[in-house]
């Protein structure tokens, strides 16, 4: 299978490319900088340019590119970068795929469980309505930007990804040093539901979706979300330390800014992977204890 990947240098993109290549698939990174060279596809969402010929006849595109949500503190300019980096790139890619003589069979386009917003303990599958707030609005626009490809007959699945557990990046990497020192703990009261997925299962799910006829939104989350307090307890147990020190809300708010901290750490969304389950996908790490043990295993 020939698979083009945007965001191929990121945590998920790097691991996905390595996984596909290990099984004999041909990965073509889509890059935004550097001179043109064999084996890559040049594109620039900011300039509105893309090597359409390089996309002709490939089997699939996995679109992972976008400004990191926690790249820096939010202000109006940063929030605009977060939005446009997703919608502009996705729109350019989708409209280009729609114009090809031999388009790929499938486009897997990133989204996030931020789509659902703050939902308390409501159980959410892919049929749930979007929530309210900045990240919900971003995800709605992000997913809509992929529609031209679907209209042209490409199978499009939008990947509503939860917290990806990896010791090499993301939220867990930032939390681990504190927990290994024995000073980690729940955030606030710890009641907020965290919907997560191990990096291993995320990659397996993406590969499953490349080969199975699933389209529309797909929640990339494990089947057993947990309250943040339970997550903190499980992580402390995994590193053989206590979890005695709750993190007061003002701490992350000072470090990250109030709005970003609220969206990253204190928003509650109990998201279930119904579309994946219905398509026959089996999780290697369905519960947080199993996932953390596998992620932290040397």
* Residue 32 to residue 42: CA distance in whole angstroms: 6
Maximum alpha-carbon separation in the chain: 60
- pLDDT band of residue 157 (cuts 50, 70, 90) is very high
Mean per-residue pLDDT, 250-276? 91
Note the pLDDT of residue 35: 62
pLDDT digits (tens, 9 = 90+) for 42-75: 999 999 999 999 999 999 999 999 998 988 899 9
Using one digit for the tens of pLDDT, what is the confidence trace for 5-40? 999 999 999 999 999 999 999 999 999 876 667 789
How far apart (Å, rounded) are the C-alpha atoms in residues 201 and 230? Answer: 20
Q: What is the pLDDT of residue 189?
A: 94
Residue 259's beta-bridge partner residues?
none
Which pLDDT belongs to residue 255? 76
Cα–Cα distance between 196 and 95 in angstroms, integer? 31
SS3 content of the chain, % helix, strand, coil (to 5): 40, 20, 40
Burial (Cβ within 10 Å: 0-12, 13-18, ≥19) of residue 292: buried
Looking at domain 2-296, does it have CATH number 3.40.50.720? Answer: yes
Residue 271: closest CA among 152, 127, 157: 127
**CA 14 – CA 22 distance, rounded (Å):** 12
Spell out where 195-268 has E strands.
196-198, 216-220, 226-227
Question: CA 106: distance to chain centroid?
Answer: 18
Average confidence score pLDDT of the chain: 95
CA proximity to 113, closest of 273, 282, 241:
273
- Look at residues 68, 57, 62 and name the one whose alpha carbon lies nearest to residue 17: 62
- Of 1, 54, 57, the C-alpha closest to 30 is 54
**Residue 185: what pLDDT?**
94
Q: Buried (b) or exposed (e) across 212-240, using 16+ Cβ within 10 A?
A: eebbebbbbbbbbbbbbbbbbbbbbebbe
Cα separation of 42 and 29, whole Å? 9
Least confident of 22-31, 166-175, 180-189, 240-249: 240-249
Three-class SS state of 255: helix
pLDDT surpassing 70 at residue 249: yes
Q: Domain limits of the chain?
A: 2-296
Q: Does residue 298 have a pLDDT over 70?
A: no
Helix (H) or strand (E) holding 43: strand 41-44
Give the pLDDT mean for 186-196. Answer: 96
What pLDDT score was predicted for residue 253?
86
Mean predicted confidence (pLDDT) in 245-265? 87
> Is the pLDDT confidence value at 140 over 70?
yes
Per-residue confidence (pLDDT) for residue 172, from 0 to 100:
95
Give the predicted TM-score (pTM) of the model: 0.95
- Write out the two tokens for 144: 């809509």
pLDDT band at 125 (very low <50, low <70, confident <90, very high): very high
Rounded to whole angstroms, how far apart are CA atoms 144 and 204? 25
With CA atoms as reference, report the closest residue to 199 among 143, 237, 238, 161: 161
- Whether 7 contacts 108, CB under 8 Å: no
């Amino acid at each position: 299978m020939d698979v083009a990947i945007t965001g191929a240098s990121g945590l998920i993109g790097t691991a996905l490319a390595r996984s596909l290549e290990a099984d004999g698939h041909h990965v073509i990174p889509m890059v935004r900088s550097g001179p043109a060279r064999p084996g890559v596809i040049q594109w620039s969402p900011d300039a509105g340019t893309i090597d359409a010929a390089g996309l002709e006849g490939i089997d699939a595109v996995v679109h992972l590119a976008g400004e990191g949500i926690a790249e820096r503190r939010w202000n109006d300019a940063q929030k605009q970068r977060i939005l446009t980096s997703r919608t502009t790139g996705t729109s350019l890619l989708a409209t280009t795929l729609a114009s090809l003589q031999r388009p790929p069979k499938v486009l897997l386009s990133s989204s996030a469980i931020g789509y659902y917003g703050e939902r308390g303990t409501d159980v959410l599958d892919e049929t749930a309505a979007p929530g309210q707030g900045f990240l919900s609005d971003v995800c709605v626009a992000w997913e809509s930007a992929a529609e031209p490809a679907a209209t042209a007959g490409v199978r499009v699945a939008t990947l509503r990804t939860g917290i990806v557990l990896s010791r090499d990046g993301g939220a867990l990497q930032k939390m681990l040093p504190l927990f290994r020192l024995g000073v980690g703990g729940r955030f606030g009261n710890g009641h907020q539901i965290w919907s997560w997925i191990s990096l291993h299962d995320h990659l397996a799910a993406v590969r499953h979706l490349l080969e199975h006829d699933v389209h529309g939104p797909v929640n990339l989350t494990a089947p057993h979300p947990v309250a943040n307090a339970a997550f903190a307890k499980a992580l402390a147990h995994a590193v053989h330390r206590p979890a005695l020190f709750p993190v007061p809300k003002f701490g992350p708010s000072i470090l990250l800014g109030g709005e970003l901290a609220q969206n990253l750490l204190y928003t509650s969304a109990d998201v279930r992977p119904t579309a994946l389950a219905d398509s026959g996908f089996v999780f290697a790490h369905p519960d947080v204890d199993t996932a953390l043990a596998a992620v932290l295993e040397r």
